[in-house]
Amino acid sequence: MPRQITAFSNPLIKRVRSLREKRHRRDEGLFLAEGLRILTEAADEGVLPDYIFFARDGANHPLAQRLIADVEAKGGEAIETERDILSKLSGKDNPQAVIGVYRELDTSLSRIDRSTADIWIVAQSLRDPGNLGTILRTGDAVGAGGLILVDDCVDPFSVESVRATMGALFTQKIAQARWPEFLEWLRSGPGQLVGTSLKATHDYQAPRYEAPTFLLVGNEAQGLPADYEAECDLLVKMPMLGKADSLNVAVATAVIAYEVLNQRRAK
């Protein structure tokens, strides 16, 4: 049976609110996700929150009722609260009707099984939560195995990042590694490393991509470092026919990922 919390001073409310900060997420090993769509996507992947907070007026939706019942059946806790408290938890003036508190996912590189997909996306020093979310959603759309974050990237478990993924955080594998660790792991098995670069001589549609293909994209402002480009099996670029010299990193990732997918479909 859900319990009610209506006081901002409640210790659990304070604890959950603190998860908006990275250091508290790291210390607790927990993160926030909000909205029926995201929580339902997670549940469909077999991932349920430890806590589910919901507004009274949002609990009548069948999906919300199912989530609440599933969380309680699995030993989690369902908590009815007020919209203004949900706003404090999410940091939004107009919060979603439900918020879940999840255990952080295992992002170790060793748990990635490259044989499960023909496409993998690798992002180096990615900084923008919106780009991370779009890349994860693109990966989901093209049937990629997941996203490997290399070096110092945006926190995939921040409220902004989780919100931007629209549930793809739970449908895609995600890993984090430094460049030397990733490179050693990559070369320990099959995989073609394809980097995007303005200095590339190959048009992105010209090569025949090998499976599994690891698409490597760089930082939004700087692109890939030269020594990272040197480690790639192939460098490609897209034609830029206007005055802009590059595309947004998430858009570029989507364009190339769909080219790889289309080659697979053509076979």
Q: 């069948």: which residue's tokens?
A: 62
Does residue 94 have a pLDDT over 80?
Answer: no
Pairwise CA distance, residues 214 & 145, whole Å: 10
- Residue 1: its pLDDT value, please? 72
Could you tell me the residue ranges of all domains in the chain? 3-103, 109-266
Secondary structure (3-state) at 254: helix
Q: Pick from 94, 85, 99: which is nearest to 13 by CA?
A: 85
pLDDT digits (tens, 9 = 90+) for 50-72: 999 998 877 788 999 999 999 99
Given a cut of 80, is residue 26 above it in pLDDT? Answer: yes
Question: What is the DSSP code (8-state) at residue 146?
Answer: E
Query: Which tens digits make up the pLDDT trace of 108-143?
Result: 999 999 999 999 999 999 999 999 999 999 999 999
Instruction: Return mean pLDDT, the chain.
Output: 94
Give the global pTM.
0.93
**What's the pLDDT at 257?**
98
The H-or-E segment that residue 175 falls in is strand 173-177
Collapsed DSSP state (helix, strand, coil) of residue 18: helix
Q: In this structure, are strands 213-217 and 202-203 parallel, antiparallel, or unpaired? A: unpaired
Q: What is the dihedral of CA 77, 81, 87, 91, to 10 degrees?
A: -20
pLDDT at 39 over 80: yes
Residue 241: predicted pLDDT: 86
Q: What is the rounded CA–CA span in Å between residue 175 and residue 156?
A: 10
Which architecture characterizes domain 3-103 according to CATH? 2-Layer Sandwich (3.30)
**Phi-psi sector, 151: left (phi>0), alpha (psi -120 to 50), beta:** left
SS3 223: strand
| Cα 21 to Cα 10: distance, rounded to the nearest angstrom | 18
Residue 245, pLDDT above cutoff 90: no
Q: Considering the chain, what percentage of its residues have pLDDT values greater than 90?
A: 82
93 has pLDDT over 90: no
Q: At what angle do helices 249-266 and 129-142 cross, to 10 degrees?
A: 10
Answer yes or no: is pLDDT of 95 > 90: no
Maximal CA-CA distance, the chain: 63
In this structure, CATH architecture of domain 109-266: 3-Layer(aba) Sandwich (3.40)
pLDDT value at residue 19: 96
d(CA 40, CA 48): 9
